[in-house]
Structure 1
Amino acid sequence: MPLRHLTPRDQHLFWRYGRGPGAPVHEPLVHRAVGRHAIVHPHAVAAEHHGATLTYGELDRYALAAHLVRAGVRPGDHVGLFTRRSVPMPVGLLAVLEAGAAYVPQDIGRTPPGRLRHVVRTARTRVVLTQKELAPRIPLPDGHRLIALDDPVPYQRVTPILLPHPDDGCHVLFAAGRPEGVKATHRNVTNLLLTEPGGLGTRPGDRVAQLLDLASGLAAWEILGCLAGGATLVIRGADLAAAARSATVLIATPAVLSGIDPADCPRLRTVAVAGEPGLPRPLADRWARRAALFDCRGPAVGAVVNTMARHDPAAVRPAACRPVADTTVYVLDADRRPLPVGERGEVWAGGACVPAGHVGGDASNTGRYAPDPFLGEGHTMVRTGALGRWNADGGLDHLGRADGHRTEPPASRPRTGGGRPRQAAGPPAAATYADTAPCS
């Protein structure tokens, strides 16, 4: 019994604080969730950029996925999506998923050739999608194939050789400067996007700003969350604030949020903040007076976030940050035993947020995954690399990284707060809570 050393009270709180609610996911494959809107709302705008638009019906009619299948793309493959922000970008992303593969995004305007070569080699992307005009900038080894997103191809309904499974890869994300990628599954992604609060209430008629680096987990939340909800993806140009001004849903880092005036966003309904180790209270209060603001935390890549809390600007203390649906969060000692409420330890996560594993890397990544003794056989938990403690409000206090970099708040600041068995390979060191916004 992994909890027998705890008092009955702490055994009860271990599950009360550390387990998110159970929630059904109506469609465990991302592209099928998007495809439903092509049937129900074919004329609704799926994406817009610099005056160009793409409807859900047009997105569904693109034949690029069939082209990928004919090119040999199979479930389990990784396909590079090396592009700039544009309307063809979501076309390529959905095509890869429809072909049964996982997309590997890089913004070719920001990524140097050496980094692109590393991603191609590490992720083994035999096929890379890009725009025709960008093709000369992509260094491809012999035997690899480049396919233009904007080349017309005859319409043909895609028929993958093998039907994708919810535990198949959805994307492989390489955090800036990190040698490894983290592979998230469809189950990881839909569990956040198609349940609340992770879905952010996104629905047809909404406008979701696409502001962030295409290779980041938060960009995956922007893009896939928007399309799975049937909303319009407002793809930014050079003026980041212009895209935000027309949005009803915004996902941002604290740094991005601080450069936008909430008074300029009259339609805004929901804001999610993550991606950096701190959300200043004055910034949170300012935006929460305009819209529902969620303070989020989770691995920098992979499943994006696994704890969220809605911020109340009138509250004395920030809201308790709780696990999202079908996700667990544990505070453990060096022997991986749960600690009582109030005691400091390492933060581990389990349930639907655990990604499929890392791509590339070295032996330093081993030990990041372990069997989850709390959820039982067939389940895995992941070491986040963070230190934390549960507080009496049921929230998780973030106390810095396990490498010794502390971010514990000063004393004057109030503190608050399944799938298939996976191989015991670790995610990259980048996937730490220290890379994301705290909820305490």
Structure 2
Amino acid sequence: MEIVAVHQGFEAQARRTPDAVAVSWGAEQMTYRELDRRSNQLAHRLAELGAGHDRPVAVLMERTPDLVVALLAVLKAGGCYLPLHSAYPIERMTAILSRSGDPVLLTDAVTARRSLPGRGPVLLADADEQLPDLPEDPLDLPCHPAQLAYVMYTSGSSGEPKGVAVTHRDVLGLVADSSWDTGWHQRVPMLAPYAFDVSTYELWVPLLRGGQVVIPPPGDLDVGVLTDLVKQASVTGLHLTAGLFRLVAEEAPQCLAGVREVLTGGDVVSPTAVRRVLDACPETVVRVMYGPTETTLFATHARFAAPFTAAGAVPIGVALDGMRAYILDDGLRPVAAGSVGELFLAGVGVARGYAGRPDLTAERFVADCVQGDGRRMYRTGDLARWTADGQIDFVGRADDQVKIRGFRVELSEVEAVLSQCPGLLDVAVVAWEPEPGDKAVAAFAVAAGADLDAGTVRDYAAGRLPEYMVPGSVTMLPALPLTPNGKLDRKALPRPTPRAAGPARRGPAGSLEEALCELFADVLGVTSVGVDDDFFERGGHSLLAMRLIARIQDLTNVRITMRTLFDTATVSSLAEQLRGQPSRSPAR
């Protein structure tokens, strides 16, 4: 039988290796046979609730084996999954569900205790008692490769998130690429939030090739958790965003020893980071991946192995097997090697378009005028050039889209949300680097009166935007600087500064608090930190928190978690926590 759908590919693999481990979570394991059986049952229940051809089923769950069951079941029921990120504000999730017609919401017992968005039916995917008498055989519905597999929402330049509609053909094209033929992606940890496109690699490459999806322990990722996971699960392949890859390279590159291939991308990759990882792990291959959600995930790749010399920018490589990359000028004509143009991508991974937005689809998905075969290409908005040896160098953006810790952010969407803040007269949003390689969002706001301050503006954004889109710095100005023709003069904006500490600052008491104050200040990129300053209120975020945790463990030989830092985010409270913990050798 010709395989035209993702779940068909899984079912074929389950018939070949029914007793092989498909999903592992600590000491727990689920075989291909068990995953097939459980997803079949849930698919029957979803079909009863109306799931079907191109109908979305929203998924809002913790990262557990039940999540893998749920996503596979949606496909088996003929539907497409609509992943929601638990870190999204309720208002954002509700808006996405409303645009999708308030579909069935698949959730779990933990998430169901929270206030859930949406008005459609809610089904607990981890409650086996809901599926006692349902058939274990597949629904065996007709499939077509152009049928939707998922709709994934990204930041939108129009001021609203947009849903990228990806088909079964797109996913199968990625899975079929020969870069996976090495067998190095047999045990892959699911590190990325499943509402982001990297989960396509982390789920379907191993599951359709006889491998194993490794579910990390609950809680936030840090270097210690990653070290333990790589060792205990014998991870063979994984993906780290460019920011996380750089952090691991700087703090603990040896934690990747034993991994056969490390994928990284989502932003500019540091050549120094590549060198540090390959120096520490000479048997490991680093593969730089590039591709927007609109091309399913990866479109180009560049392979690096030891010995490696960090010289110049790291290229994004050449097109994957089923993809084509063009660098075109303003007239959509190919540019010569060394000349800068816009990068266009064509081939098997190009998505159907934006769900419910034919206008945006027509703007970004255009006829492939180079191949002239009647198919479409996606205009990325990225500027690039061909190198002398036929690889692609990323140069920058042609618009105001940026990557924040691997997440795509349209600055115009942040501006659109902030412009609705009561009492705000004007606002401009820019990207800046508090430290080299660490991008953040900064806002400049003009208040209509004296009652509105920077903290209120930031709180307004935090209630409506994902954490990575919330401005880390809000600067209040009497007016935005303008050019002579009345446009925003971005060059005249002052340099953003990290959020200041409160007026009352207490100094450290003892050597531990003094050392922690120095670590906090160094990681945050500020001159000093008081013992009562909150790390996150001073501008800390998840990647900086991982860096801080690694350095605290080096200092104290005490293992702490991301949750500990969230709960004890000041020097004084963290010092008290550390004093109560036994010293141990660092896990990394």
Map Cα deviations across residues 255-297 of structure 1 (whole Å, 9 max, x no partner): 222444342344311111122x211112112333241211111
Greater relative contact order (Cα < 8 A, sep 6+): 1
Alpha-carbon separation, structure 2, partners of 1:199 and 1:122? 39
Cα distance between partner residues in 2 of 1:64 and 1:214: 19
Counterpart in the other structure of 1:104: 82
Letter in 2 for 1:283: A
Structure 2 unaligned residues grouped into runs of 5+: 412-430, 432-588
State the SS of the aligned residue for 1:114.
helix
The structural deviation recorded for 1:198 is 5.1
Contact kept, 8 Å, 1:75 with 1:163, in 2: the verdict is no
Aligned match of 1:243: 229
- How far 1:306 sits from its partner (Å)? 0.3
Q: Distance in 2 between matches of 1:372 and 1:216?
A: 27
SS of the equivalent of 2:154 reads coil
Task: Calculate the aligned-residue CA RMSD, in Å.
Answer: 2.8
Q: Which runs of 4+ in 1 moved over 6 A?
A: 404-407, 427-430
2:203 partner letter: I
> Shift in Å at residue 92 of structure 1?
0.4
Alpha-carbon spacing, 1:202–1:34, altered in 2? closer, same or farther (3 Å):
farther
Answer yes or no: is the 8 Å Cα contact 1:199–1:225 preserved in 2.
no
Distance 1:292 1:98, change over 3 A: same
Shift in Å at residue 302 of structure 1? 4.6
Maintained 8 Å contact 1:179/1:360: no
Aligned to 1:173: 152
In structure 2, what is the Cα distance between the partners aligned to 1:76 and 1:391? Answer: 41
> 5 Å matches for 1:133-212?
133-137=110-114, 139-142=116-119, 144-152=120-128, 153=131, 154-159=134-139, 162-175=141-154, 179-197=161-179, 201-202=183-184, 206-212=186-192
Higher Cα radius of gyration: 2
Distance 2:68 2:274 in 1: 31
CA distance 1:106–1:302, change in 2 (3 Å)? farther
1:293 aligns with 2:286: yes
Show the counterpart of 2:52.
74
Distance 1:429 1:186 in 2: 27
Q: How does 1:15-34 map to 2 (within 5 A)?
A: 27-34=3-10
The answer on 1:382 being equivalent to 2:382 is no
Partner of 1:373: 369
Q: Deviation per CA, 1:112-138, whole angstroms, max 9, x where unpaired?
A: 211221221223351111113322435
- Aligned residues: percent identity? 28
Whole-angstrom distance in 2 between the partners of 1:116 and 1:234: 27
Say which structure is richer in helix.
Answer: 2
- Which segment is superposed worse, 339-348 or 282-291? 282-291
Residue 364 (structure 1) shift: 5.7
Equivalent of residue 314 in structure 1, options 289, 307, 321: 307
| Preserved CA contact (<8 Å) 1:183 1:302 | no
Q: CA deviation at 1:182?
A: 0.7
Q: Tell me whether 1:332 sits opposite 2:328 in the alignment.
A: yes
Cα distance in 1 for partners of 2:402, 2:9 equals 41
Deviation at 1:77, TM superposition (A): 0.9
Q: Who is 2:61 aligned against?
A: 83
- Structure 2 residue corresponding to 1:57, chosen from 33, 39, 61: 33
Instruction: State whether residues 108 and 125 of structure 2, in contact with CA within 8 Å, keep that contact through their aligned partners in structure 1.
Output: yes
Matching residue's letter, 1:306: A
- State the SS of the aligned residue for 2:371: coil
- Report if the CA contact (8 A) 2:170-2:296 is conserved: yes
The letter for the 2-side match of 1:338 is P
| Conserved 8 A contact 2:290-2:316 | no
Relative to structure 1, the CA distance from residue 31 to residue 395 in structure 2 (aligned partners, 3 Å threshold; closer, same or farther) is same
- Give me the TM-score of the superposition, normalised by structure 2: 0.60
SS at match of 1:174: strand
Change (3 A) 1:362 1:28: closer
Are positions 1:126 and 2:93 aligned together? no
CA deviation profile, 1:282-337 (whole Å, cap 9, x unmatched) = 21123332412111111145511100010134355556700001211111111212
